[in-house]
Structure 1
Amino acid sequence: MSVEKKPRLAVIAGPTAVGKGTVVRALLEKYPHVYLSVSATTRAPREGEIDGQDYHFLSHEDFEGAIARDEFLEWATVHKVNKYGTLKAPIEAQLAQGVPAILEIDLAGVRQVRQQMPDALFIFIAPPSWEELVKRLQGRGTESAEEMTRRLETAKLELAAKDEFDHIVVNDEVDRTVSELAELLELA
């Protein structure tokens, strides 16, 4: 008689341009039953965005109320304007149903989640090298030189925090990285 293991929340973070989004999308294509947490925000929806799918769009008042009721695993004010956060209830509901859940967030969010859910699985996605990270960021061609400098400074801080995580996964090749994540999440 085997005892089924309950799924854990997997918290995934890493520096800019490391390929977190690409890896998570590829993982979800291969394992569509995994739940990807949808963030809440106070910003207005952009054209084509769907409430509950792209974000949970909340008014500033509703977001503040949710903070007061301790409904977030983590939250932050971004650029001194809008708030973003991860609601506990949807993740807890998925885990209670036996569905593995993933949360892709920044380092500050990781630290908040660790306080709220210390039994979560914390995974850091690392680049094969600093040079490769710089090359990937430059290759995107979406940031100004000033923005690239800012992102690379933040990446240095994030890389320095990698030992705060349970596992470090080097994203050298997407399929291999997805396979390693699947093993850590006990999907494979």
Structure 2
Amino acid sequence: MTSSDADHPRGRARLTVLAGPTAVGKGSVSAYIRDHHPEIWISVSATTRPPRPGEVHGQHYWFVSDAEFDRMVEDGELLEWAVVHRKARYGTPRGPVEEMLAAGRPALLEIDLQGARQVRRSMPDALFVFLKPPSWEELVRRLIGRGTESEEERTRRLETALVELAAEPEFDVSVVNSEIQQAGEELVALMVEPSA
């Protein structure tokens, strides 16, 4: 890292961390960026939760067993990891992130709030972006409309979302996800903003 990069943490070879409340559309915004901005590398998280319909192992997530996740934690292979919604574990494999940053490629982590806090401790020069819904009512509509969770799971996620929304001041910048393309383009502009 050059002194210029250190003085301007929004330089090209920087890690960007995207977090926000459940059902805000982090996955949809990331998918838009993956489809329209191949210059941006997007980390694939490991998780112990089962795949949702249409999710592909290695593309959307690395779906791993509890035993494999334990091994990854023990061996220091995860940049961050957390238990999400008091249920499944999610984590970011460290190696690929470090490789992309060393190669000077813009890298994006789409993770939960707990994970973002861990990354801030280990990589404070990263850009931390909070993805927020246009309103609480819209967040509830999106979560219910997704139809992938049980009533109990929806209730748990909404309780979690209230706590997650309160964390917005911890982030460097916020992006409102009123529309996926607009939010995605705003995020990419933040990621590739040249050093001043």
Class of the TM-score when normalised by the shorter of the 2 chains: 0.7 to 0.9
Indicate the residue corresponding to 1:167 in structure 2.
173
Q: Determine helix, strand or coil for the equivalent of 2:192.
A: coil
Specify the SS of the correspondent of 2:114: helix
Distance 1:64 1:129 in 2: 37
Measured after TM superposition, the shift of residue 78 of structure 1 is 5.9
Contact 2:20 2:165 in 1 (8 A): yes
1:90 pairs with one of 84, 87, 96: 96
User: Which deviates further from its counterpart, 156-165 or 135-144?
Assistant: 135-144
1:19 pairs with 2:22 = no
170-179 or 46-55: bigger deviation? 46-55
| Greater displacement, 6-15 / 123-132 | 6-15
Taking a change above 3 Å as real, the CA distance of residues 144 and 100 of structure 1, as seen in their structure-2 partners, is same
- Give, in angstroms, the shift of residue 135 of structure 1: 1.6
Aligned to 1:28: 34
SS in 1 for 2:44: coil
* Contact kept in structure 2, 1:6 and 1:95, CA below 8 Å: no
Contact 2:132–2:176 at 8 Å: present in 1 too?
A: yes
Change (3 A) 1:79 1:154: closer
In structure 1, what is the equivalent of residue 185 of structure 2?
179
Report the CA distance between 1:185 and its aligned residue. Answer: 0.6
The equivalent residue for 1:144 is: 150
Q: Secondary structure in 2 aligned to 1:185?
A: helix
2:64 and 2:150 map into 1 onto residues whose CA distance is 31
Within 5 Å, which residues of 2 pair with 1:17-166? 17-41=23-47, 52-56=58-62, 63-77=69-83, 83-166=89-172
Secondary structure of the residue aligned to 2:131 is strand
Question: CA, structure 1 residues 147+82, in 2 after alignment: closer, same or farther (shift >3 Å)?
Answer: closer
With normalisation by structure 2, the TM-score equals 0.79
Coordinate RMSD, CA, aligned: 3.0
Contact 2:106/2:192, CA 8 A, preserved across alignment: no
> 1:107–1:43: structure 2 CA closer, same or farther, 3 Å change rule?
closer
Identity of aligned residues (%): 56
Residue 178 (structure 1) shift: 1.5
Q: Give a deviation string over 1:47-103, Cα, whole Å, max 9, x none.
A: 997764454466766644543443321013568886432121100101111211111
> Is the 1:39–1:84 Cα contact (8 Å) retained in structure 2?
yes
CA distance in 1, matches of 2:180, 2:133: 11
Give the number of equivalent residue pairs: 186
Distance 1:128 1:158 in 2: 15
- Which deviates more, 71-80 or 150-159? 71-80
Please, which moves more after superposition, 74-83 or 25-34?
74-83
Query: Once structures 1 and 2 are overlaid, which stretch shifts more, 106-115 or 138-147?
Result: 138-147
Secondary structure at the aligned position of 2:183 is classed as: helix
Where structure 2 has 5 or more consecutive residues not aligned to the other structure, the ranges are: 6-10
Question: What letter corresponds to residue 28 of structure 1 in structure 2?
Answer: R
